[in-house]
Structure 1
Amino acid sequence: MTGDTVLTPFCKKLGHILSRRGMLYFGLGIVVVMSMAALLAPWLAPYDPTELHLHSILEPPSAAFPLGTDALGRDVLSRLLYGARVSLWVGFVSVSISIAIGIVLGLLAGYFSGIVDELIMRGVDVMLCFPSFFLILAVIAFLEPSLNTIMVVIGLTSWMGVARLVRAETLSLRERDFVAAARLAGTKSSRIMLMHILPNALTPVLVSATLGIAGAILVESSLSFLGLGVQPPDPSWGNMLMEGKDVLEIAPWLSLYPGLAILVTVLGYNLLGESLRDTLDPRLRK
């Protein structure tokens, strides 16, 4: 058997994995697994995430502690599972806020045009002038760090992309025959926007939401790492990384596992979002 013969099945399998459908399933699989781990954390975690085991400080992975313990003897696996709940909850809630704002402003700007469009889009331009992460840092610096604050601030500073997407779709859809027919029938503008235009403009919003969750998880982790996010002893992947950096040489598992969790989760949502875009956008189909 030649080397080419051996490699052919492997290459075909790799090509299938890298195909659009394969990437979609792979990303969806990661998202489902991480979501289930977060939902089932109270049953999957072997210990309470804040429970101290003072006899097992900085213990490496073992049968009793599968992912080791931290500087206070807390189980890393338990904190990792409960940290997933925090990160995913922040992602979903903050993206929901940004999508709600973006849809409303995008519909108004695209449908009415004129002065309404100018006011909204100039507001978008002003918001885009500031780097989003530094804008979030500036706002949170004046507020008490908490999970609710993080979700609201991320949502209120990340709606601009959704607004521009919805506006672009609305500008195209409002010229369609079914919208003109609705106008001639005397349908109110609010009903036309909600019942006729919005359902046809949701495809890019769905993709943006999926990618937005990954971005929100990264922002939350960064804020927690800097001490401006979820406050100890409550676990989050970001503050687990912060706690692990001081003992990186003697306990590398404290930074390795939360870092991998962030990497895998963000990768899953990015793959899912890109695959959905390729699948749902007819312009990208071959």
Structure 2
Amino acid sequence: MNSSTNTAVAPPAGARLSAALRRWYAQYHHPMTWTGLGVFAALLLFSWLGPLIYRSSPFDIHALSTLAGPSGKFLLGTDNLGRDMLARMMAGGQATLQVGLLGSLIAMCAGIVYGMFSAMSPGWLDKILMRLLDAVLAIPTLVLMIFFAAIMPLNTLSLVLLLGLVSWPGLARIVRNEALAYRERDYILAARQFGAGSLYVARSHMLRAMLPILIVNATFMVADVILALAGLSFLGLGIQPPRASWGGLLNEGVQQVFLGSWWLIVFPGLAIFAAIVAMNLIGQGLLARLEGR
């Protein structure tokens, strides 16, 4: 008698990815999220794809067109040296978004590691780490940024490190509190009973459970870092000339606004505003879905 054996065939990788995307869409779909993603994607395309289409250099000086308003030749006008503002806005977008995204990544990693380590430590060490965190949080962030910016060489790498290393304490407290709440769950205790170590529990169980909260906080973190960079650049402590950033362009524009050159502050200000609003819309949309709204 012939017997047949049914063998389960694993779905291809493309099907698994498609199913995961559908689940993600169903769980996190919200109009605010898509609006924010659309605005932020437009800023990314403007900053990185724009220079491939609009070939003007942000450093070229057009001596006969200083402080020229928006026109067919210069779509966003020129600055006081005759440099094309559209080209400088694109270059400034690259610098601003690059520092914002990389600085947020460093802050996220530092906050997760510190908060998780504190939660998984013995009680006495957790208390010490939290008191240290309270001391860091008591120092105004702007004061810290100005202090370190005054003693560090100002370039993209140093700004990424600076903004990343002053932005993590708030996230560390959130991660620590969430980890303490998850630590006594039944499946965590069961994993420990089966011999799972702290690192495995933190990586495979706690972080996976906290992932939605971390994603939401990451979007707000990007907005905070972009705003902090704009503030530093406005004070002259950010990305240094001749390189452009949106905050630096805003600072230069304020110095010329008494001449009626409104375009020098409107366009950089709108770009900063759009980036911050986009990330907050993404975060608010994700938060609304997590809360079931």
TM over 0.5: yes
CA RMSD of aligned residues (A): 1.4
Greater shift in the superposed pair: 33-42 or 156-165 = 33-42
Aligned residues of 1:109 and 1:121 also touching (Cα < 8 A)? yes
Quick one: which of 97, 102, 114 aligns to 2:106? 97
Distance 2:40 2:91 in 1: 16
Distance 2:50 2:141 in 1: 31
1:177-222 Cα deviation digits (max 9, x unpaired): 2111111111122111111111111222111110111111111111
Secondary structure of the corresponding residue to residue 247 of structure 1: helix
Quick one: which of 140, 157, 182 aligns to 2:149? 140
- Structure 1: 5+ residue stretches without partners: 1-19
1:145-179 Cα deviation digits (max 9, x unpaired): 22221111111111111111111111111111211
* TM score, norm. by length of structure 1: 0.88
Distance 2:144 2:255 in 1: 28
What is the aligned partner in structure 2 of residue 16 from structure 1? none
Matched, 1:269 2:279: yes
Deviation at 1:137, TM superposition (A): 0.6
What is the aligned partner in structure 1 of residue 288 from structure 2? 278
Distance 1:202 1:127 in 2: 25
Aligned residues of 2:137 and 2:170 also touching (Cα < 8 A)? no
Equivalences for residues 225-236 of structure 1 within 5 A: 225-236=234-245
Matched, 1:254 2:254: no
In the alignment of these two chains, the number of paired residues is 264
Distance 2:292 2:110 in 1: 30
Distance 2:255 2:188 in 1: 60
Q: State the one-letter code of the partner of 2:292.
A: R
* TM score, norm. by length of structure 2: 0.86
Deviation at 1:95, TM superposition (A): 0.8
What is the aligned partner in structure 2 of residue 211 from structure 1? 220
Aligned residues of 2:167 and 2:225 also touching (Cα < 8 A)? no
Quick one: which of 61, 65, 79 aligns to 1:56? 65
Deviation at 1:54, TM superposition (A): 1.0
Identity among equivalent pairs (%): 37
Quick one: which of 163, 170, 175 aligns to 1:166? 175
- Structure 2: 5+ residue stretches without partners: 1-28
1:43-89 Cα deviation digits (max 9, x unpaired): 13341111111121111111111010111111101111111111111
What is the aligned partner in structure 2 of residue 5 from structure 1? none
What is the aligned partner in structure 2 of residue 14 from structure 1? none
